[in-house]
Structure 1
Amino acid sequence: MPLMWDIRPLTMDDAGHLLRFELDNRAWFERFIQPRPDSFYTPTGVRLHIRQFLQENRQGKRLPRLIIHRESGVIVGRVNLHNLRLDQGSAFIGYRVAQSIARQGAAKRGVDLIQHEARLLGIRTLLAYVVSANLASQKVLQHHGFKVKQRLPDYVSLHGQKLDCLYCYKQLYE
């Protein structure tokens, strides 16, 4: 199967397309993550979001990437390293893909590619939180060799319901 997905850095020029991606998938994403405020889902809100991510990138705190369809360049997902601790060689990973391409390998490919970038930065340990009910996201992490470090009961509240999370890790190298 040809590799259909790639990643590239987030830029201010992505604002319009990113807004469309986030709006189209809002309900899908909010099944497993905290809803963003309504103000995010506006041209100004997305530009502010991108500006913040790019500032954190310049400060060495975040590595924001878009998962794109290789041929069309359409945004199909996001993958980020955040809470970068270069002094400790660790970072958290987060990702999301459009509902329309779920289970087609985009999340796996995005995680694979950002792990390569993490290694180049000297990151030795990747960390992740995943809602225990989010089996698809757990499968992506398991595919990449993440291990569950700890189960966190009632760790997040989503739509008024307390949910357990799994705290996962992966050693990229020693």
Structure 2
Amino acid sequence: MVSVKRVSAEHADALLRFELENRAYFARVIPDRGDAYFAEFADRHAAVLAMQDAGTDHFHVLVDDGQILGRVNLVNIVDGSAELGYRIAESAAGRGLATWGVREVLGTPYGLRQITARTTLDNLASQKILARVGFVRTGEVELSGQPGYSYVLATPQA
């Protein structure tokens, strides 16, 4: 059974494995993280935990039997607003896991009033997920040189 867990130090190895195993899959629809992300993963993970402890970001993993199947994060939290980011393993794609995971995390009582998101134009699956959970497209953006859309969701949590 899949569960949502806040990222912890114990997730470091499984998260790195998740990112490496799915790197090519993710790069088909979102900008690649680059080699430095993987080379410096331990330091990056420590920084993620520090940001989470400071309350500026909330990082989550979707876990099934110890295996990470996805990530759902709320980052850059300022004045009750955060940006949503998520990614699902290729082996778990197309089964509603992203929609479920995003809804679960958005239902967490972090006191946020507004959530924003961005996606590339060619990431139709992500656009459908955002629409399913209530996001509204607000404009066009550029993501690492690729054209995309911006979205917003007003939340009743605050």
Query: In structure 1, what is the Cα distance between the partners aligned to 2:110 and 2:6?
Result: 15
Alignment length (residue pairs): 157
CA contact (8 A) 1:12 1:47 kept: no
Aligned position for 1:95: 86
Of 96, 111, 117, the match for 1:122: 111
TM-score normalised by the chain length of structure 2? 0.92
Aligned position for 1:172: 155
TM-score normalised by the chain length of structure 1? 0.84
Of 36, 50, 56, the match for 1:61: 56
Identity of counterpart residues, as a percentage? 33
Residue type at the aligned position of 1:133: D
Instruction: Give 3-state SS (helix, strand or coil) of 1:41's partner.
Output: helix
Of 14, 18, 26, the match for 2:15: 18
Q: Which has the larger radius of gyration?
A: 1
In the alignment, structure 1 residue 133 sits paired with structure 2 residue 119: no
What does the per-residue CA deviation read over 1:125-152, in whole Å, with 9 as the maximum and x for residues that have no partner? Answer: 1100111110001111011010001123
In the alignment, structure 1 residue 81 sits paired with structure 2 residue 74: yes
CA contact (8 A) 1:5 1:110 kept: no
Aligned position for 2:30: 33
Residue type at the aligned position of 1:33: I
Structure 1 runs (4+) greater than 2 angstroms displaced: 39-42
Query: In structure 1, what is the Cα distance between the partners aligned to 2:99 and 2:3?
Result: 11
Instruction: Give 3-state SS (helix, strand or coil) of 1:54's partner.
Output: helix
CA RMSD of aligned residues (A): 1.5
Query: In structure 2, what is the Cα distance between the partners aligned to 1:109 and 1:51?
Result: 27
CA contact (8 A) 2:118 2:148 kept: yes
